[in-house]
């Protein structure tokens, strides 16, 4: 089953290059992730195809108008119906939304898809949001110029989870957040490098941790788990507490954390 994204945007040209580069291009080439772009100005009226106006009550910025959005969404619904697709939820990218998590990405990757609404200007007329938007998503506590970058971020995160996209199907299972913790460090050739501890310092030999060269899979697995626990505890302790609340930490995990110096 393909994941379909109908994207409402004022800047459709931002999306084409993204779909042709990197490992995730496979998802778009095979239509495992089917992206349909809906330029909002195509659904605006008048000589200037206006999609925004000044806010009632005054203040800076412009507000996206309801009517072009309604016409665009109606065209999307007609297209979905013609294709035999089910009604997809409307997702708005907004600072007021819930933070995007790996768990939400995984749910979307296994779903039929969504309508992605990329806002611009000061915002969208609240009446459209109240009537048509099913979910609001935020990338973090900061403001971007529009919803296109969050839409691309979401599409990338979903695309890489599709079967056949990554060279190793198990790769994403070891990503940060896939098991609720941050990822462990990774190393490759050569086995020893002469590098300063920090740029500008004196070079020193930095070997790969010996356990990774041991060939002992159980020891390697335990080392990686302990590295995950240590990095997460030091940088994102709230993730440790969340994992503990879900009952996902073993006795070995808890023993290791008790002996960890933060």
Give me 35's structure tokens. 């992206």
Among residues 42, 54, 95, 191, the one annotated as catalytic is: 95
> SS3 of 47, please?
coil
Residue 129 · residue 90 · CB < 8 Å: no
Give me 196's structure tokens. 């300063």
Catalytic residue list contains 160: yes
Among residues 34, 67, 136, 175, the one annotated as catalytic is: 175
Catalytic residue list contains 13: no
Catalytic residue list contains 95: yes
What are φ and ψ of residue 27, in 5° steps?
Answer: -65, -35
For 227: left if phi > 0, alpha if psi spans -120 to 50, otherwise beta; the answer is alpha
Residue 75 · residue 69 · CB < 8 Å: no
First-to-last CA distance in the chain? 45
Give me 225's structure tokens. 């788990």
> Cα separation of 46 and 223, whole Å?
64
Q: Which residues does residue 91 pair with via DSSP β-bridges, in sequence order?
A: 116, 135
Catalytic residue list contains 244: no
Among residues 122, 136, 179, 183, the one annotated as catalytic is: 122
**Strand locations in 62-201 (E):** 63-64, 90-99, 113-117, 123-124, 135-138, 192-196
Torsion over CA: 220, 226, 232, 235 (sign): negative
Known catalytic residues are 95, 122, 160, 175
């Amino acid at each position: 089953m393909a994941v379909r994204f109908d994207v409402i945007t004022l800047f459709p040209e931002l999306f084409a290059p993204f779909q042709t580069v990197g490992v995730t291009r496979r998802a778009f080439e095979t239509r495992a992730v089917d992206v349909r772009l809906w330029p909002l100005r195509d659904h605006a009226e008048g000589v200037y195809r206006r999609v925004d106006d000044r806010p009632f009550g005054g203040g800076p910025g412009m507000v996206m108008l309801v009517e072009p959005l309604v016409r665009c969404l109606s065209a999307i619904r007609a297209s979905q119906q013609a294709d035999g697709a089910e009604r997809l939820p409307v997702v708005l990218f907004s600072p007021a939304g819930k933070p995007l998590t790996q768990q939400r990405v995984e749910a979307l990757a296994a779903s039929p898809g969504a309508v992605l609404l990329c806002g611009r200007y000061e915002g969208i007329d609240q009446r459209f949001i109240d009537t048509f938007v099913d979910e609001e998503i935020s990338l973090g506590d900061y403001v971007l110029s529009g919803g296109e970058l969050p839409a691309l971020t979401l599409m990338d995160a979903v695309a890489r989870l599709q079967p056949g996209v990554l060279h190793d199907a198990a790769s994403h299972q070891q990503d940060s957040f896939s098991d609720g913790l941050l990822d462990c460090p990774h190393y490759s050739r050569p086995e020893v490098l002469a590098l300063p501890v920090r740029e500008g310092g004196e070079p020193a030999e930095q070997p790969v941790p010996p356990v990774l060269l041991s060939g002992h899979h159980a020891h390697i697995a335990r080392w990686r788990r302990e590295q995950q626990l240590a990095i997460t505890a030091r940088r994102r302790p709230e993730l440790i507490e969340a994992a503990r609340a879900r009952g996902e930490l073993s006795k070995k995990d808890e023993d290791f954390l008790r002996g960890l110096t933060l």
